[in-house]
Structure 1
Amino acid sequence: MSALSLLRAALLLSLGFLGVSEAVAQCGTRQVSTRIMGGQDSQQGMWPWQVNIRSNDFSFCGGSLITSKWVISASHCFNRTNPPSFYTVYLGSYQLTGANGNEIPMAIQRFIVHPNYTSPEYGHDITLVELSSDVNFTNYIQPVCLPSAGVNFPTGLQCWVTGWGNIASNVSLRDPNTLQQVAVPLIGNQQCNSILQAPSPLGPSSFAILNDMLCAGYIDGGKDSCQGDSGGPLVCAAANQWYLVGVVSFGDGCGQPNRPGVYVRVTAYLDWIESYIPEASANVLNASFTGPFISLYNNNITTTAVPAPSNTTQTSGVTGSTTTTTIFVPDASTTVVASTFLCAWITLLLACL
């Protein structure tokens, strides 16, 4: 074999090891670098899988992009009697009433409400939304990963919920309607059911946490998803990627004591999701959530360092007081280095062909 052939083979083999087999975005990564997260306003591009779903009746919900053509949202955001044209998905949104050059509106080809859905309190509050065409990924439009079945979600794990809904019960988000974010701890189902039996200004709880549900929030309240956030993402980070752990479903008020938010447990629906979206399996990854952990009490927040990367139904805003926490957040620094390296290899390969 000639030296040129050997060089070609080495280049192609190295590209294969680096995963350059098709031009797709790596799920759960952000191209906008940020390492300090807290407060309420997010930064543009911080949550690139977040979408805004607007209806012809001027209501809206959230959703999460999981592939170039599919979004996950909540069933109670959709009326089965409405045609797909009744809804529009906006990707890359940041400020709903401000100028946003990164926003792209997309028509809906179809939406698939889970066949067992009747009401959020009875579960199955999940809907798949197919866009009219594939979307081009940008720094502000990226898919989120899905955790594989069997992944453990430890109590106290710090996760993030985002949306444009109310900032408190019956208090709308003010112009320019900047995408809100809040950190909340996960709560195990058994403990959450016990919490719901505790006294609350809202009275006794009338619902139970089922196996396809997930709780997140503070026992003493204060930070929560709220009306207008439904269908939006509850995401947790593992190593260098973000995972869609929950879908905003319902709650008893917003940020009330002993009434944490209730989310659809995404892992309970992986088979159903993949039956309609086989390509989504590429973004279903095994993950080990090892922190950071925060207190279940809003007035006693503690964090642990994130390990360094290995290389009331809520027609659902996010409500909460401002607390800034400095943590490691997966960003695009390693991606930029890798991209520069890949470009050099590709240029050399083309010169040899």
Structure 2
Amino acid sequence: MPLVFHCNRNLTIVKMWASTLPIILASLTLTIQGASVGQECGKFNEKQFKNNKTIAEPNEHPWVGRILGTNREGKDHLTCAGILIDARHVLTAAHCVSNGDVNDISAVVFGDSDSASRNLVSTITIHPDYSAAKRQNDLAIIELTKDIEFTDLAQPICLPSTEKPKSETPDSDLIVAGPEGVSYRRGDPDYKRTDGRIKVAFKRIDSSECNKLQERFPVELICSQDDRGALLALSGSALAEASGNPRKFYLVGIVTAGFGSPEKQYTGYLNVRSYLDWILRQTSSLS
């Protein structure tokens, strides 16, 4: 059972003082959250959330973007998902952009049409401790060349609080959203990849159990399971939590890896909350 990335192509794998860190992070968090309020982060629609459909509606999850590369014929092709966290920054898995070359990305697109909200890339920042071999710290930040104009099809998701939740979020309050990724159904001659963005119910399994099944699976990842052949989200897709009053979507995980067994398939999500300090420092300094 090899550990795989849910990605459409292989890319080349490319101090703060303890006493002041909480104050700095609190300030950064307030700044980001303040900006997010004006940007109406985490747009949530109860009817869409509970409609049990697997294909997202055009205005559903407007923070899900598609990272496009260019093939040998010079045409766009989908490589990974990217998640909009403010007007200028997109989070994705580091293995999607691991050589750090902005020329590998033709655009980050929001909306279901390739011509809708095409955004060019200015810089790519890969987590300094990213290890492709160990599948650790698989996180990168894409900075766009200019601020996105927010529409019904392009809006940021909220970042979670830096505080660790007192209890585990129920699976029913979580959703996986993004383009369809690598599926074990591709051996079926009648299989056709879904063109639209998908949404998949989250079914939690303890990460230690996933590690027992696949020793290369990092225990620090969030893990979910589903029946073999079920829809899988592409690398960089979001694990989003619906919470608060009024309810909003918060980005709690990013799809980074997966593996299969004869009966089940398993997906690993980088825990965004564990990287908030780095995300906030990077997006503040890049802005």
User: When the two structures are superposed, what TM-score results if normalisation uses the length of structure 2?
Assistant: 0.73
- Alpha-carbon contact 1:91-1:141 (below 8 Å) kept: no
Deviations 1:311-347 (A, max 9, x none): xxxxxxxxxxxxxxxxxxxxxxxxxxxxxxxxxxxxx
- Structure 2: distance between partners of 1:21 and 1:62: 23
Aligned residue for 1:123, secondary structure, equals: coil
Cα distance, 1:21–1:90 mapped onto 2, change above 3 Å: closer
- Structure 2: distance between partners of 1:32 and 1:44: 15
Equivalent residues in 2 for 1:254-265 (5 A)?
257=263, 259-265=265-271
- Alpha-carbon contact 1:95-1:179 (below 8 Å) kept: no
- Structure 2: distance between partners of 1:259 and 1:176: 18
The match for 2:18 is none
The match for 2:143 is 130
- Alpha-carbon contact 1:61-1:231 (below 8 Å) kept: yes
- Alpha-carbon contact 1:75-1:114 (below 8 Å) kept: yes
Specify the structure having the higher radius of gyration (Cα): 1
The match for 1:209 is 218
Cα distance, 1:169–1:121 mapped onto 2, change above 3 Å: farther
- Structure 2: distance between partners of 1:175 and 1:244: 25
> 1:116, CA displacement in angstroms?
1.1
- 1:233 counterpart = 2:238: yes
Equivalent residues in 2 for 1:143-182 (5 A)?
143-149=156-162, 150-152=164-166, 154=168, 156-158=170-172, 159-166=174-181, 168-169=183-184, 171=186, 174=192, 177-182=195-200
Aligned residue for 1:252, secondary structure, equals: strand
Aligned residue for 2:51, secondary structure, equals: strand
Equivalent residues in 2 for 1:53-68 (5 A)?
53-57=67-71, 58-68=77-87
Deviations 1:173-228 (A, max 9, x none): 747711111111233xxx3312553xxxxxx52324333x211234x5554525xx
- Alpha-carbon contact 2:160-2:252 (below 8 Å) kept: yes
The match for 1:284 is none
Matched letter for residue 169 of structure 1? Y
Deviations 1:98-146 (A, max 9, x none): xx6xx21111000101111121743100000000000011111110011
Where in structure 2 are there 5+ consecutive unaligned residues? 1-33, 72-76
- Alpha-carbon contact 1:32-1:139 (below 8 Å) kept: no
User: When the two structures are superposed, what TM-score results if normalisation uses the length of structure 1?
Assistant: 0.60
The match for 2:92 is 73
Where in structure 1 are there 5+ consecutive unaligned residues? 1-19, 198-203, 281-353
The match for 1:244 is 251
Larger fraction in strand? 2
Equivalent residues in 2 for 1:232-311 (5 A)?
232-239=237-244, 240-253=247-260, 257=263, 259-278=265-284
- Structure 1: distance between partners of 2:135 and 2:36: 41
- Structure 1: distance between partners of 2:198 and 2:81: 12
- 1:89 counterpart = 2:107: yes
Matched letter for residue 192 of structure 1? S
> 1:54, CA displacement in angstroms?
0.9
- Structure 2: distance between partners of 1:225 and 1:171: 12
Report sequence identity in percent: 23
Aligned counterpart in structure 2 of residue 106 of structure 1, from 115, 119, 141:
119
Q: Which portions of structure 1, spanning 4 or more consecutive aligned residues, are displaced by more than 6 angstroms?
A: 20-23
Total equivalences in the alignment: 242
Equivalent residues in 2 for 1:298-337 (5 A)?
none
- Structure 1: distance between partners of 2:120 and 2:248: 28
- Structure 2: distance between partners of 1:24 and 1:53: 25
Deviations 1:139-170 (A, max 9, x none): 11110011122135626523211222347226
> 1:21, CA displacement in angstroms?
9.7
- Structure 2: distance between partners of 1:130 and 1:64: 12
Cα distance, 1:234–1:152 mapped onto 2, change above 3 Å: farther
- Structure 2: distance between partners of 1:175 and 1:259: 17
- Structure 2: distance between partners of 1:133 and 1:258: 42
- Alpha-carbon contact 2:110-2:153 (below 8 Å) kept: yes
- When the two chains are superposed, the root-mean-square deviation of aligned CA atoms in Å is 3.2
Deviations 1:19-55 (A, max 9, x none): x999931210147963543232111111100000011
